[in-house]
Structure 1
Amino acid sequence: MSRESYQQQLDELRANVVDMGDLVVERLEAALTALRTVDLDTAQSIIDGDDDINELYLDLEADCIDLFALQQPVATDLRFIAASFKIITDLERVGDLATNLAAYAQSADQRLGLEIDVDTIGREATEMVERSIDAYEREDIEACRAIAADDDELDTLCQRASETVARDLIEREADSDDGWAVEQLLDDVSRLLLTVRDLERVGDHAVNIAARTLYLVETDSELIY
């Protein structure tokens, strides 16, 4: 195979990884909307569409394996293929988390009035994924480091939200003598805590993508953990 044809395969792999990232971000945004509006139809479509992301992941995994096995890539190309392989794994997991959020939307109770801003946390996490894919596409090392730094802010938002939910649960439980109401409250609180946890994990996957991009460009492993 000519170098030109081989380079075209590498370029196509990058473009396909970016396309997968765009699809995952789209699903994540839709899941957050479904969660906010308790849109059961949208939530179900996201759950049903998870197979599409899984199939895309498997197709790109096969492309990476073929490039490893058939083309004997040199060091720079080897890092690119390996980074792409790791990145699609993170994207597939973000897709799974979007599916989780859609499932939470299906069982959400709008009567629960806890003072936490899931929308803000969701926006921050989604933007981190978008920026990490853009950094991969452009091989932008400064953007990679900025994403890792912003993860600290997302972690803080998630910690505060979890503490608020826990505190509110304690206060409501203390004021209530209705065992059934407390049981319902526990279900709702558990769902909110899972929502916050999953959004924090979305941010972690964005950092993973940035870390692999940084290593790809500079063989710098400072963000890999």
Structure 2
Amino acid sequence: MPESVTRLAYIEELESLRQEISKMGAMVAEAVNNSMKALLEKDNMLAERVMSGDDFIDNINVVVEDKCMLLIARQQPIARDLRIIATGLKISTDLERIGDHAADIAKIATELDSRPFIKKIVDLPKMAEMASQMLLESIEAYRNFDIKLAEKVCNDDDVVDELYAKTFRELSKFAVDDTADMKQATQLIFVSRYLERVADHATNIAEWVIYLVTAQRIRK
């Protein structure tokens, strides 16, 4: 087979890998959104769907890992090609972990009792919206090799961190002052922590995009 044809097939494989990761990112973002919808609306059926869907996300991660290993073994890539494969491995791992956190939130949604929420839920939806936006933007940055968008994602992580700190302080008061509300307060604190971790993983993805384009590692 002529070298030009071989190279073209290889480029197509790399693009297929990137498309697979982009689709995985969209699925994971949907899982995060659905897990929060299930929590806020106390929708156990939706929560169960998120939890069962986590296995599918895990399977996609395995497929991506296998593709990356095969490309490395067959092509022995260097420079930018190697970075595409290496970042693919890292990004799919971050996405798989975000999927786990979505399942964690969904599990908490199924464990909430029928009582009203102990306080008006305002900051958790804000955290979820921000973290989900960061995730989608990090994937868009990956698709388009967009450094500026990746840098925006990294900067937005500070907003989520501030919301997490505020939520933790407010809910901790319920956990201490009113033993009847302690369980729910603790559950919601865990939700806020999972959302904070979603934003952290989105930031990781953005950092890997910057590395992919520039070959320079940054750590926020």
TM-score, normalized by length of structure 1? 0.91
Paired position in structure 2 for 1:151: 157
Cα offset, 1:167, TM superposition: 2.3
Out of 29, 33, 44, the residue aligned to residue 33 of structure 2 is: 29
Q: Which amino acid aligns with 1:203?
A: A
Question: For residues 60-75 of structure 1, what are the structure 2 equivalents within 5 Å?
Answer: 60-75=64-79
Question: For residues 34-113 of structure 1, what are the structure 2 equivalents within 5 Å?
Answer: 34-109=38-113, 110-113=115-118
Asked if 1:134 is matched to 2:140, the reply is: yes
Paired position in structure 2 for 1:196: 192
Paired position in structure 2 for 1:207: 203
Out of 145, 162, 172, the residue aligned to residue 166 of structure 1 is: 172
Distance 1:4 1:33 in 2: 44
Q: Which amino acid aligns with 1:127?
A: Q
Distance 2:103 2:60 in 1: 16
* SS state at 2:70 partner: helix
Cα offset, 1:113, TM superposition: 2.5
* SS state at 2:174 partner: helix
Q: Which amino acid aligns with 1:189?
A: A
Unaligned runs of 5+ in 1: 174-181
Distance 1:35 1:73 in 2: 45
Asked if 1:186 is matched to 2:182, the reply is: yes
Paired position in structure 2 for 1:176: none
Paired position in structure 2 for 1:177: none
* 8 Å contact kept, 2:175–2:186: no
Which runs of structure 1 show a deviation greater than 6 angstroms over 4 or more consecutive aligned residues?
none
Q: What is the aligned length?
A: 214
Cα offset, 1:185, TM superposition: 1.6
Paired position in structure 2 for 1:179: none
* 8 Å contact kept, 1:116–1:165: no
RMSD: 1.3
Q: Which amino acid aligns with 2:200?
A: D
Identity percentage over the alignment? 34
